[in-house]
């Protein structure tokens, strides 16, 4: 009987770990372990006992491939052991198993990202103008990596997600709706991002999957993620795993 190699494409934040505020009942002293750190070395994300048990279980039978919005710097501040590919920047950057950047993939996507840049800059100006008019203290930030602009992100500095709702309703959502062939909106809690349509984890997952099939022949793939934006890359895998009490679970399993 042929044994298929198994690969899990796994989102990181709010899937394999989360901030202290989101640890809920698991946040008692001694139960949590740091998983990711800020630039100053302070722990910012943690694993629960259940998440550590899940990781141990998954590693026994499959190779885990991080599939995250984090850029290279933020990914390297994740202190979990991964040894294969990594999909970063919502799919804009792929790291090879040796940790180097997949240059052909980066060159493939770079032209589309530069083409989308003027639109993202226009939206950033509109958000800044809205902030000046209303006193909203959030600012749009263009996320770049490997000398390539990828997407626009907006967060409330006070971590009060409800404060994003007026700017999303009055500025961001109408702008994206008028350009839906070119951009899409991702909102999950205090994270509001606008991405070019060419930038999607699913595209990078398909690219990595093709490389794995070329190397190993038949393989079995799994996708795991917490938010709606993860759904497309998870749907491209053979099976999907959805953590409970997440945005994606609320839109699918818990909505039934």
Contact between 12 and 66 (Cβ < 8 Å) = yes
Pairing of strands 63-66, 219-224: unpaired
pLDDT at 236: 93
Q: How far apart are CA 45 and CA 32, in angstroms?
A: 9
pLDDT at 248: 86
pLDDT at 8: 98
Percentage of residues of the chain with pLDDT beyond 70: 96
pLDDT at 22: 87
Per residue in 134-166, pLDDT (tens digit) is 999 889 999 999 999 999 999 999 989 999 999
pLDDT at 192: 94
pLDDT at 252: 80
Residue 16 has pLDDT above 70, yes or no: yes
Kindly list the strands in the beta sheet with 219-224, ordered across the sheet, starting from the edge strand earlier in the chain: 63-66, 5-10, 219-224, 239-241
Contact between 89 and 145 (Cβ < 8 Å) = yes
Distances (CA, A) of 193 to 49, 59, 64: 30, 31, 26
Coil, strand, or helix at residue 162? Answer: helix
Contact between 8 and 83 (Cβ < 8 Å) = no
| Topology (CATH level 3) of domain 5-92+218-255 | Rossmann fold (3.40.50)
Residue 3 has pLDDT above 70, yes or no: yes
Residue 64 has pLDDT above 90, yes or no: yes
pLDDT at 163: 93
What is the domain partition of the chain in residue ranges?
5-92+218-255, 111-196
253 band by pLDDT with thresholds 50, 70 and 90: confident
Q: Helix count (H) and strand count (E) of the chain?
A: 8, 12
pLDDT at 23: 87
Per residue in 170-210, pLDDT (tens digit) is 999 999 999 999 999 999 889 999 999 999 999 999 999 99
Per residue in 75-97, pLDDT (tens digit) is 999 999 999 999 999 999 999 99
Closest C-alpha to 4, from 232, 238, 234, 223:
238
Contact between 226 and 243 (Cβ < 8 Å) = yes
29 band by pLDDT with thresholds 50, 70 and 90: low
Q: How far apart are CA 93 and CA 13, in angstroms?
A: 17
255 band by pLDDT with thresholds 50, 70 and 90: low
Q: What integer best gives the mean pLDDT of the chain?
A: 93
Q: How far apart are CA 225 and CA 234, in angstroms?
A: 7
Looking at the domain covering 111-196, what would its CATH class be? alpha beta
Per residue in 101-141, pLDDT (tens digit) is 999 999 999 999 999 999 999 999 999 999 999 999 889 99
pLDDT at 171: 97
Model-level pTM greater than 0.75?
yes
Coil, strand, or helix at residue 252? Answer: coil
Pairing of strands 183-188, 148-154: unpaired
Mark 139-173 as b/e (b = at least 16 C-beta within 10 Å): ebeebebbebbbbbbbbbeeeeeebbeebeeebbe
- State the average pLDDT over residues 66-72: 96
Question: Looking at the chain, how many residues does it have?
Answer: 256
């Amino acid at each position: 009987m042929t044994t298929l190699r198994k690969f899990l494409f796994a989102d990181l934040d709010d899937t394999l770990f989360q901030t202290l505020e989101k640890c809920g009942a698991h946040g008692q002293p001694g139960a949590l372990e740091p998983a990711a750190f800020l630039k100053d070395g302070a722990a910012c994300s943690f694993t629960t006992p259940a998440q550590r048990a899940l990781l141990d279980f998954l590693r026994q039978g499959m190779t885990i491939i991080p599939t995250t919005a984090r850029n290279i710097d933020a990914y390297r501040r994740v202190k979990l052991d991964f040894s294969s590919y990594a999909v970063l920047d919502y799919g804009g950057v792929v790291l090879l198993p040796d940790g180097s950047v997949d240059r052909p993939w980066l060159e493939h996507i770079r032209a589309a990202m530069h083409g989308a840049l003027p639109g993202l800059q226009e939206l950033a100006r509109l958000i800044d103008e809205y902030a000046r008019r209303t006193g909203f203290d959030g600012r749009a930030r263009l996320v770049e990596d490997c000398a390539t602009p990828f997407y626009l992100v907006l967060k409330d500095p006070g971590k009060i997600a409800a404060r994003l709702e007026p700017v999303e309703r009055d500025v961001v959502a109408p702008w994206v709706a008028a350009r839906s062939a070119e951009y899409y909106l991702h909102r999950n809690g205090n994270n509001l991002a606008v991405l070019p349509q060419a930038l999607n984890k699913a595209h990078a997952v398909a690219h990595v999957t093709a490389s794995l099939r070329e190397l190993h022949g038949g393989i079995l793939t799994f996708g795991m993620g917490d938010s709606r934006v993860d759904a497309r890359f998870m749907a491209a895998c053979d099976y999907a795993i959805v953590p409970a009490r997440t945005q994606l679970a609320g839109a699918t399993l818990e909505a039934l």
